[in-house]
C-alpha cells in the first residue's frame, strides 16, 4: 500500500514544494533579526484545516534554519524531522479530516537564499539590512510554510530588529514599539497571500507619502533619504498610474500600496503583495525605470490578487504585467500598445521559436519570451474582442477571482463569453504552439 504522504508532486515545476493533507488559513510569525550577524530567530504558528487523516504533516523549511521545538494543537513538544528542506511533524494524536491543525515551530539560524534552477531566491543580506525576494520558492528560506502559490493564507508578521533600521512587511502596520536598542514592527495582512509573496525589507529607511491618494488607497514610499529627490521625480506619476490601472483592471485589491527602494542596486525589481521593491539603480532621476514601475504595480492585480495555481500558467502573471507597461505608455502619451506590441513581435521573430508560452517548463518559466509573448497573447485577444469587450473581460476577471487562485483554463472559459466565435484557435496559436503567430489587424482598437 502506497503511503499517501508520498503522493505525486503538487506542481511538476517544483516537485519538492507544497504539501498535502491540510490547507493553511493563517501564519503568525514572531521574528527577531540581528542585522550585523544576519541572525534570524523566531516562532511560526501555522493554523490549518486537515483535508485527510495522515500520520504526519510536512512544511517547507530551509536547512539553513535549525528547529528547536515543535508543538501541535497546543500539546507537548511533538516529534519531528528536518531533512532536505522538509520539516515533517508527527502529532501525538491523529487529527481527523476537517479538524484543526495548529503547528508552532521555534527555529533560528543564518538565513540564506534557496538555490535552484533560477539562481538564489529568498532571504538576502544587503550592505546594511536585508531583503526577501522569494519567487518562486524562497519563502522557506525564512519561515516554515506550505511553499506553493496555490496555498494562500492571511498573515501577521512581527519583526524585531535593531532600532536604527526600518522594517517593512506585508499589510498594515498595526503596532510599533521600541525598547532599549530594538524596535518591534507588527504588520497584519488580512487578504489571502501566497507564501512567495510574503516579504520583509530592512534598511536605513524613512517613510514618505506619495502624492495624492487614489480612491482611498494610501500610497507610500520607504527609502534611504539620499534618494528622495530622484524618487520624487521618477515615481511622481504613480498616482496617475494607479488611477489608470484601476479604470482598466478594476479596483485596487489591497488596503495600501508601498514602494521600497533599497540602498543597494538590484538586477530586477521584486514583487510582493501590496509592496514593490526597487534598487537604488532604478532611481536615476530620469524616469528610466518607469515601465518597471508599471509592471510591478500591475502585479498587484495579476499575480498577487489573482495567483496561478500551477507555475506553468505564469504567463497570466507576467504577460498581463508586461502588457500593463504598454497600457501605461499609451495612457501617458508614449507609443501606443499596438505599436509596442508590433515592435515586440518583430524582436521576438529574431529569436529562437522553441518555447510554449502556456507550458514553458521550469527552466524557461522566467524567460523574457514568456513575458513578451504572454503580452502579445493579451494584445491579440484585445484585437479580437475589441476594446469594450476586452475591458469588460479584464474587470470581470479580476472581480470574479479576487484574492483567489486561477488557471489558463479559467481565463479562456471567461473570455469565451465575450466572443461569438471560438477562441480556441487563438489560444492554440499563441499559448501552445512554438511558432510565433502574426498579430490580427488593429482595426478593432478605438
Catalytic residues: 296, 371
* Number of residues assigned to the chain: 446
User: Per the annotation, does 299 bind a ligand?
Assistant: yes
Chain centre distance of CA 108: 25
CA–CA distance, 291 with 262 (Å, rounded to integer) = 18
User: Per the annotation, does 403 bind a ligand?
Assistant: no
CA–CA distance, 149 with 134 (Å, rounded to integer) = 11
CA–CA distance, 104 with 203 (Å, rounded to integer) = 28
Write out the three cell numbers for 95: 487529527
Write out the three cell numbers for 372: 513578451
The DSSP result for 42-97, as a single string, is EEEEEEEEESS--S-EEEE--TTEEEEEEEETT-SBPEEEEETTEEEEE-SSPPPT
User: Per the annotation, does 330 bind a ligand?
Assistant: no
CA–CA distance, 162 with 154 (Å, rounded to integer) = 26
CA–CA distance, 446 with 383 (Å, rounded to integer) = 10
The DSSP result for 290-338, as a single string, is HHHHHHHHHTTTBTTTEEESSGGGTHHHHHHHHHHHHHHHHHTTSS-HH
What stretch of H or E contains 40?
A: strand 39-50
Rg (CA), the chain: 22
- Binding residue numbers for Zn(2+): 295, 299, 318
- Binding residue numbers: 295, 299, 318
Amino acid at each position: 500500500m502506497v503511503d499517501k504522504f508520498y503522493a505525486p508532486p503538487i506542481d511538476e515545476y517544483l516537485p519538492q514544494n507544497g504539501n498535502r493533507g491540510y490547507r493553511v488559513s493563517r501564519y503568525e510569525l514572531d521574528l527577531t533579526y540581528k542585522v550585523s550577524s544576519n541572525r534570524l530567530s523566531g516562532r511560526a504558528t501555522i493554523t490549518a484545516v486537515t483535508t485527510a487523516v495522515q500520520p504526519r504533516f510536512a512544511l517547507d523549511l530551509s536547512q539553513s534554519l535549525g528547529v528547536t521545538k515543535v508543538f501541535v494543537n497546543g500539546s507537548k513538544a511533538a516529534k519531528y524531522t528536518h531533512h532536505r528542506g522538509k520539516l515533517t511533524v508527527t502529532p501525538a494524536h491523529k487529527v481527523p479530516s476537517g479538524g484543526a491543525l495548529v503547528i508552532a515551530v521555534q527555529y533560528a539560524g543564518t538565513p540564506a537564499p534557496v538555490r535552484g534552477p533560477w539562481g538564489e531566491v529568498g532571504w538576502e543580506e544587503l550592505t546594511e539590512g536585508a531583503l526577501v525576494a522569494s519567487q518562486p520558492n524562497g519563502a522557506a528560506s525564512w519561515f516554515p510554510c506550505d511553499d506553493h502559490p496555490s496555498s494562500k493564507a492571511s498573515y501577521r508578521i512581527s519583526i524585531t530588529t535593531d532600532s536604527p533600521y526600518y522594517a517593512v512587511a506585508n499589510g498594515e502596520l498595526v503596532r510599533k514599539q521600541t525598547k532599549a536598542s530594538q524596535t518591534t514592527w507588527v504588520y497584519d495582512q488580512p487578504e489571502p497571500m501566497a507564501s512567495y509573496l510574503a516579504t520583509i525589507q530592512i534598511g536605513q529607511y524613512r517613510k514618505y507619502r506619495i502624492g495624492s491618494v487614489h480612491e482611498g488607497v494610501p500610497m507610500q514610499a520607504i527609502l534611504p533619504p539620499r534618494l528622495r529627490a530622484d524618487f520624487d521625480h521618477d515615481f511622481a506619476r504613480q498616482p496617475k498610474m494607479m488611477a489608470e490601472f484601476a479604470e482598466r483592471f478594476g479596483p485596487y485589491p489591497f488596503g495600501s500600496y508601498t514602494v521600497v527602494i533599497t540602498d543597494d542596486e538590484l538586477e530586477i525589481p521584486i514583487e510582493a503583495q501590496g509592496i514593490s521593491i526597487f534598487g537604488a539603480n532604478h532611481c536615476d532621476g530620469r524616469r528610466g525605470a518607469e515601465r518597471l514601475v508599471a509592471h510591478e504595480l500591475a502585479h498587484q492585480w495579476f499575480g498577487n490578487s489573482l495567483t496561478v495555481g500551477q507555475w506553468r500558467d505564469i504567463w497570466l502573471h507576467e504577460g498581463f504585467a508586461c502588457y500593463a507597461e504598454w497600457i501605461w505608455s499609451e495612457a501617458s502619451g508614449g507609443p501606443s500598445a499596438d505599436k509596442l506590441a508590433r515592435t515586440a513581435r518583430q524582436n521576438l521573430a529574431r529569436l529562437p521559436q522553441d518555447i510554449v508560452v502556456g507550458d514553458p517548463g521550469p527552466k524557461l518559466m522566467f524567460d523574457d519570451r514568456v513575458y513578451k509573448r504572454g503580452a502579445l497573447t493579451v494584445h491579440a485577444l484585445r484585437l479580437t474582442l475589441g476594446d469594450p469587450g476586452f475591458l469588460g473581460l479584464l474587470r470581470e476577471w479580476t472581480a470574479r477571482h479576487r484574492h483567489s487562485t486561477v488557471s489558463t483554463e479559467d481565463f479562456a472559459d471567461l473570455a469565451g463569453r465575450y466572443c461569438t466565435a471560438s477562441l480556441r484557435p487563438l489560444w492554440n496559436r499563441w499559448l501552445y504552439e512554438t511558432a510565433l503567430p502574426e498579430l490580427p489587424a488593429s482595426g478593432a482598437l478605438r
